[in-house]
Amino acid sequence: MVTIPYIKGVTEPLERVFRKHGITTAVRPKTTLRSLLVHPKDKLEDRVKTDCVYKIPCKSCQQVYIGETGRTFGTRLEEHKKEADNMEAVRYTTAQKRHAQKEENLNKSAVTDHMTRNNCIIDWEGAKVIDREDNRRIRWIKEAVWIRKSTPVMNRDEGGYKLSHVWDHLFAKKAPPTSATYSGEKQCSNQKL
């Protein structure tokens, strides 16, 4: 006996083929009420998640900071906040801002640099985990991909992994043009096949 999931239009012909060869079949539903309703694990809050890639947005502009940590996200976020609070009292005039932009890495954190150089306010409540990975090297790659995909960013570097620019076309927000675009034909991406 063979048990197969029920898929409309596929299961019936498959049953006939099995029957021709003398094999009995049993059909089970693809999705069950249990799989829809029962979720044995509670979802973790972002602050207690470990081994993650995270995003910290700016309230004043569209830039975001992308980072990674093997510790809890809450611990790393508090470190960013602590350094930012230490620099909070420092607000630059236009002349001081120009001078600060000439200097390299004023602060430990790119978030704090962004705040002090641009007089911006960081959206600490909007900070969230965007990806998770236990393996540190793969997490570095994911961080580099997220930095490349998210523009504009306040990061000073490209992350823990030097990602080749060969992959840039995959991270572009728009699909690359096709030959139909060049020939003057309209390109319909919403069209269902």
pLDDT per residue over 26-42, tens digit each? 999 888 888 888 877 88
Is the whole model's pTM more than 0.85, yes or no?
A: no
Q: CA torsion sign, 139 to 148 to 72 to 84? A: positive
Q: Is the pLDDT of residue 128 over 90?
A: yes
Please name the amino acid found at residue 52: C
Distance, CA of 139 to CA of 53 (rounded, Å): 7
For the stretch 74-127, pLDDT in tens is 999 999 999 888 875 555 566 665 665 555 546 678 998 888 888 899 999 999
Between helices 94-102 and 110-118, what is the axis angle to 10°?
Answer: 150
Report which of residues 187 and 54 the model is more confident about: 54
pLDDT at 61 (0 to 100):
92
Average pLDDT of span 151-175: 80
Q: Is the pLDDT of residue 187 over 60?
A: no
pLDDT at 95 (0 to 100):
66
